[in-house]
Amino acid sequence: MTLAIILFALALGCYLIAVLEDWAVHGRLDPLRPAVSALALLGREQVLPRKSDRLFFEVGPVLLLVAGLLAVAVIPLAPGLIVTDLATGALFLNAALAYVLVALIMAGWGPNGAYAMIGGWRFLGQFVAYAMLIVMTITAVAMRAESLSTTEIVTSQAALWNVFYQPIGFVLFVIAAMGLAWLPPIDLPTGGGDLAGGVEAEYTGARLAVLRLARLVIVLALASATATFYLGGWLGPWLPAWAWTAAKTLAVAAAMLFLGRHLPRLREARYLAVSWKLGIPLALANIILVGVIALVVPI
Amino acid sequence: MNGLTGAREGARAGVAGGLRRMVARAMARDLCAFFVPGMDVARARGLDLDAAGLHRADTPRRANVLLVAGPLPPSLLDAACVAWAQMPRPRAILALGAGEIAPLPGPDVAEDLSQSGLAAGLAALRRAVAAGAFAPEVTDFDAPALAVRVEYTCPMHPEVVSDKPGSCPKCGMDLVEREASAGDHGGHAGADETGGGGRRGHEGHGSDNAPAPSRAYTCPMHPEVVSDKPGSCPKCGMDLVEREASTWDHGRHAGAVETGNGDHRAHEGPGGHDTHDTPAPSGVYTCPMHPEVVSEEPGSCPECGMTLVPKDQAGDHAGQVHAKQQGHGGDSGHGGHGSAPEVPGIEPHFMSMVDMTRDLPASPDGLRMEWIEVPFGPFFPGLPGGLGLTFTLDGDSVAAARAESLVPGVLAPGLPAAELADRLAAQGPLAPAALRELACRALEAAAGAAPPPEWGAARAAALERARIASHLNWLAGLARQVGLVTLERRVAALHQRLRQADAADCARVAPALGALGARVRGTPLLRDRLAGIGQIDGRAAAEAGGPVARAAGHAVDARADDPAYAALGFRVIAGKDTGTGGDAWARLVQRLAEIDQSLDLIARAGAIAEAAHSADLLAELPSDGHAMARVETPRGPSTLHLTLQGGTIAEARLTTPFARLAAQIGPMTAQMELAEALTAVASLDLDPWGARP
């Protein structure tokens, strides 16, 4: 039953995020658009590029989808409404999302196209930039909750949401999450204007549909993780718990999707430099700060 | 409507059942166009895809409509065929004023080249797709440019190449199949857009371009047997195979190890011996990672602390393309690798990166990778349509760049002088007004007639309106390339408002343009994205001309010598006025400043000349003579040399800014990261149309 509810919520969430993304890209709100596009996509021919690495080409999108689904499994929708409440949930999320890198490199390598391949390798560089930030900000969140369990992280924020408790961590996590989900302006592996679709460039038909769906699941996973880690998850007055999680997740997703449309795509070297030279010291400072506060002020 | 008229190649195989009908209707709603020859041309021709409710695709793989706008030269039609072949079915062709489009299949819908034509065409196309996305029988479309020639070669004797299978005349082995490297044209168009065939053209890259090295012959089985002439192996009797002579100097390699610069330097191996044979200039050391660091004496790099190495080993192999070792010749050098650290239990060179990469060209950063040649264009999103740009990529940095126009202009002799202006304008969809003006001035100069002063101002205003439109069109393209989709929409909308505006309309649009300029300058991170990219200064900038030169501080502008502009109080804006240097950001700021200036000039002129006026001006067209005219187009000065004979054009030589700007690409993009190199190219605002072939 729980699984069915979560899957339904997941499907609905993905659809709403697809609507938001379409709105952000085309500047027009059309609630039916993702359904129409998906149907059209499924009816289109699937092209297998010449000399492709068939295994990588087929496995890439599926692995991406699996990674996203695994990440979603440890996010609580409401108390008790979680696929698996692992004691190491926050770490598991991170481990699941590590496969995004593998999947994207496979999807980039598989089709034997230059744009796709460059896109895949670019994501490797991008990974180096965001990976530490994701882990280090989660560390600070877990320190306060004194647990890696995502439900305990939510309940630890009853007095004060983490977004106020550790705002530096929040900003770093959102930026790193946008890098992980290759959302503009950090969409280096698929950059429309400079790689013509990059990793996605050679996928068509149902395979592309899987790739797109996987991307939506990953965006949803990261938006809901942000809501869980920093915005108090299901906590909130008046509305039922699940509604709070849903509202916060969608708000975070909308912010992530719309922000990037007003910013130019980052230069890869600059993104790496800023992440390491500024982001990591800030994340360390955040850990120390949270540690001191946790020891001194009991909230 | 009976479905896609190009059903043979457009529809997808399948009987239209209930579900398929629903899918087909969804497809009809979800039309996504790949635009040929490019969005910049679409905007310049007044097409607004957003307003028509048409999404656009970055690659043909994503599109289900191939939208051909305006007549295309044969080179672009070939490339369009490749795009069409790459599009997944069901797919359709919408031709707007395109005329004959063979070798593409006939268009499913053909309309006029106008926004209403686009809307009508789309409506018809939606009906066609809904009715006939699936057909019981379909045939394949093969782009002629993609046809691959298969040839056969001997695994042991690569010099043996045959058109048909058989056995090797030297050793009797069966020949194996391989793709012949595509001809220059085929390869170009073949890999044109998505890189689907992008790596195909590069097999054999190394051996194709290698300079002829000195040859030696060795036995495939007994590498120790080396002879300087062909023959057979004294040990096993096999034919000796050719390989590059390996005459490297062991002493020198040992020396490199002593400098402490990592073991891999010791293995430069056969590849680099051409330079190894010539002694390095004594006492010149450089950092393997920072080629710009050069020191007279050994020491460590101030940037990264690595030990400096003698210069010829650090990066001078850049640009060399080494012939691949043939047969087993590559392993014959085991003796030369005595300096390799041997780990007990591990076979020397097991999975050694050094062994795998040592024959690859080295780049200045010291990393050896397989270089790939990747085409960008002629339909690349974020670059001008019709521009054929090829980067040789070393990882993701640009090792070499080549740019050419795939849409050169040819003016055949015998054209009546009266048609010159129209013909030139048709040749350059991105700058028709400027070319028209150029033709008029050349004809006037041939006739020895000067236009009346009041006309001069109005014609200058027409040129300035074209300049604003052109700069806006460029800005939309740049916004696309760096991912600023909202800015692109806003700029494109302003471009459409201004394209045909009269002087009063221009005044009304002026505040919106001012706000746009402020918005662009204030876009967060945009300056960071563009500053320092594509730096051109000094003489190179002055030679480039146009906004590129002015952004670098050179006050070069053909308008400065023009009496019509002098009457309007024209003053050249150059980099020092905008306060920036000659990089991509400076060019953006320069063009924004020029937009403001042009609005000002239009306001002073008070009226904008109509295109038709120019023909009336020359009531009496000259019949003979020679003349030259020069106009500052939005991208720099264009000149036209004209020789008239008996009322027709005997010779017309048009020089557009393309060649001068394209010449900057090579030096400007060397060793740049790919995305930055593309931004640098975009910042030049190339117009390949009508360039000299």
For chain B, percent of residues with pLDDT exceeding 70: 68
Using the predicted structure, report yes or no on whether residue B362 has a pLDDT greater than 80.
no
DSSP string, B472-534: HHHHHHHHHHTT-HHHHHHHHHHHHHHHT--HHHHHHHHHHHHHHHHHHHT-TTHHHHHTTTT
Does residue B279 sit in the same domain as residue B218? Answer: yes
DSSP class of residue B94?
E
- What is the per-residue pLDDT for B330? 32
Q: Which residue has the higher pLDDT, B314 or B548?
A: B548
Specify the 3-state DSSP secondary structure of B651: strand
Does residue B223 sit in the same domain as residue B365? Answer: yes
Does residue B205 sit in the same domain as residue B327? Answer: yes
Among A283-292, B105-114, B326-335, which is the least confidently predicted range? B326-335
Of B376, B410, B426, the one marking the end of a domain is: B376
Interface A-B: count of C-beta contacts within 8 A: 170
Using the predicted structure, report yes or no on whether residue B310 has a pLDDT greater than 60.
yes
- What is the per-residue pLDDT for B334? 36
Residues of chain A in contact with residue B393, where contact means CB-CB under 8 angstroms, are 114, 118
Question: Looking at the complex, does the CB of residue A108 fall below 8 Å from at least one CB of chain B?
Answer: no
Domain-located, residue B436: no
Interface test with B, best of A42, A188, A208, A267 (most B CBs within 10 A): A267
Domain-located, residue B663: no
For residue B376, what pLDDT band results from cuts at 50, 70 and 90? confident
Does residue B136 sit in the same domain as residue B201? Answer: no
The CA distance from A176 to A123, in Å, is: 13
Q: How many CB atoms lie within 10 A of CB A260?
A: 21
Domain-located, residue B389: no
Q: What is the mean pLDDT of residues B656-677?
A: 88
CB-side exposure of B675: number of CA atoms within 13 Å?
28
CB-side exposure of B314: number of CA atoms within 13 Å?
25
DSSP class of residue B418?
G
Predicted confidence (pLDDT) per residue in B40-82, tens digit: 888 988 888 888 888 888 888 888 899 998 888 888 888 888 8
* Structural contact between residues B227 and B240, judged by C-beta atoms closer than 8 angstroms: yes
CA B494 to each of CA B469, B499, B599, B686: distance values in angstroms, whole numbers, following the listed order = 9, 8, 13, 21
Does residue B264 sit in the same domain as residue B367? Answer: yes
Domain-located, residue B227: yes
Specify the 3-state DSSP secondary structure of B583: coil
- Bridge partners (DSSP) of residue B628 are B641
Does residue B66 sit in the same domain as residue B208? Answer: no
Predicted confidence (pLDDT) per residue in B528-564, tens digit: 888 888 888 778 888 888 888 888 888 888 888 888 8
Does residue B457 sit in the same domain as residue B566? Answer: yes
A114/B529 touch (CB, cutoff 8 Å), yes or no: no
Give the chain A residue whose CA is nearest to the CA of B14: A43
Q: Which residue has the higher pLDDT, B588 or B351?
A: B588
Does residue B126 sit in the same domain as residue B223? Answer: no
Phi, psi of B244 (to 5 degrees): -65, 140
Question: Looking at the complex, does the CB of residue A53 fall below 8 Å from at least one CB of chain B?
Answer: no
At B323, the amino acid letter reads A
Domain-located, residue B178: no
* Structural contact between residues B217 and B301, judged by C-beta atoms closer than 8 angstroms: no
B58/A197 touch (CB, cutoff 8 Å), yes or no: yes
Q: What residue has token string 């073949």? A: B190
- What is the per-residue pLDDT for A2? 82
Domain-located, residue B494: no
For B657-674, letters b (16+ CB in 10 Å) and e give bbebbbebbeebbbebbb
The alpha carbon of residue B299 and the mean position of all alpha carbons in its chain are separated, in whole angstroms, by 42
A264/B486 touch (CB, cutoff 8 Å), yes or no: no
Q: What is the mean pLDDT of residues B493-518?
A: 88
Of B376, B399, B432, the one marking the end of a domain is: B376
- Bridge partners (DSSP) of residue B662 are none
Nearest-neighbour CA in chain B from A226: distance (Å): 24
Does residue B43 sit in the same domain as residue B109? Answer: yes
DSSP class of residue B174?
B
Domain-located, residue B187: no
Using the predicted structure, report yes or no on whether residue B142 has a pLDDT greater than 70.
no
Structural domain for B570, as ranges = 453-461+501-609
**What is the rounded average pLDDT for all residues in chain B?**
74
Q: What is the pLDDT along chain A (299 residues), one digit of tens a residue?
A: 888 988 998 999 999 999 999 888 888 888 998 998 888 888 888 888 777 788 888 898 999 999 999 999 999 988 888 888 888 999 999 999 999 999 999 999 888 888 888 888 889 989 999 999 999 999 999 999 989 999 999 999 988 899 998 999 999 999 999 999 999 888 888 877 788 888 888 888 889 999 999 999 999 999 999 999 999 888 888 888 889 999 999 999 999 999 888 889 988 888 999 999 999 999 999 999 999 998 888 77
Phi, psi of B72 (to 5 degrees): -115, 145
SS3 content of chain A, % helix, strand, coil (to 5): 70, 0, 25
Of B376, B406, B432, the one marking the end of a domain is: B376
Does residue B256 sit in the same domain as residue B370? Answer: yes
Predicted confidence (pLDDT) per residue in B219-238, tens digit: 666 666 666 666 676 666 66
Portion 195-254 of A in contact with B at CB < 8 A: 195-197, 201-205
- What is the per-residue pLDDT for A288? 94
Does residue B135 sit in the same domain as residue B20? Answer: yes
User: Domain boundaries in chain A?
Assistant: 2-296
Specify the 3-state DSSP secondary structure of B294: strand
Domain-located, residue B682: no
- What is the per-residue pLDDT for A249? 94
B30/A111 touch (CB, cutoff 8 Å), yes or no: no
Question: Looking at the complex, does the CB of residue A111 fall below 8 Å from at least one CB of chain B?
Answer: yes
Nearest CB partner across the interface for A114, out of B12, B23, B374 = B374
- ipTM, interface predicted TM-score of the complex: 0.90
SS3 content of chain B, % helix, strand, coil (to 5): 40, 15, 45
Does residue B109 sit in the same domain as residue B216? Answer: no
Interface test with A, best of B20, B23, B30, B681 (most A CBs within 10 A): B30
- What is the per-residue pLDDT for B443? 83
For residue B211, what pLDDT band results from cuts at 50, 70 and 90? very low
| CATH number of the domain that residue B122 is part of | 3.40.50.12280
Q: What is the mean pLDDT of residues B576-597?
A: 83
For residue B241, what pLDDT band results from cuts at 50, 70 and 90? low
Number of domains in chain B: 3
